[in-house]
Structure 1
C-alpha cells in the first residue's frame, strides 16, 4: 500500500513509519507546487494509486463528492505531535491495509 502524507503532517513522519509503510511519501516530494491545492493532491494520489493521509476535513468533502480512488485516512485527533501521529498510524496499520484492499470503502477515520 502506498501512502502520501498531506502537507499538514510533518515530512519527518516518513522516516518514522517506513518500516511498516515502506511506500510512503510526503506531498512535498511529489513534484507538486508548494503549497499544493487539495484537488491537485487528490488527482496526484489517484494517478499514483496512493492513500492520502491527512487531518484536513476538506478531503472528507472531496471523498463524498468524487468517491474513490483515491482513498483517504482522515486523522481526527486534533493537533498531535509527529510521534502521536506515528503511533496512531502504526496502531491502525491493519485497518489501513483493509482500506487499501477494500472495493467498497474509500475513507477511514481514525480518532
Structure 2
C-alpha cells in the first residue's frame, strides 16, 4: 500500500512511513500542492494511492464516490508530526512488519 499525504500533514512523515509504505508521497511532491480535493482524489485513485489527511472533506468524497481511492483520516489533536505517523505504523504493524522491498 502506498500513501499520499495531504498538504495538512508534514512531508517529514514520509521518512518514518517509508519502511512500512514504500513509494508513498506527499501532494507537494506529485505536483498537487494547493490542488482542490477533487484533483487529489482523482490522482490518488488513478495512481493507486491511499489518501492520508486530517481533512474531513475526503471522508465526504469517499461517502459520495466510494473507493478508489481509500482514505485514512487522522483524528488526532495538534501534536508533533512524528506522533501523527505512529497510529498508521501501529495499525500496519498489527498486520505485518516493515516492507523488505
Q: Given the two structures, how large is their TM-score scaled by the length of structure 2?
A: 0.87
- Tell me the CA shift for residue 94 of structure 1: 5.0
Task: Go from structure 1 to structure 2 and tell me whether the alpha carbon gap of 1:95 and 1:5 turns closer, same or farther (over 3 Å shift).
Answer: farther
Q: Please, which runs of 5 or more residues in structure 1 have no aligned partner?
A: 98-111
Structure-2 residue corresponding to 1:93:
92
What CA RMSD, in Å, does the superposition of the two structures yield over aligned residues?
Answer: 1.7
Q: Given the two structures, how large is their TM-score scaled by the length of structure 1?
A: 0.80
CA deviations over 1:58-77 (Å, ceiling 9, x no partner): 00100011111000011111
Q: Please, which runs of 5 or more residues in structure 2 have no aligned partner?
A: 97-101
Take 1:75 and 1:44, find their aligned partners in 2: how far apart are those partners?
Answer: 20
Structure-2 residue corresponding to 1:31:
31
Count, aligned residues: 96
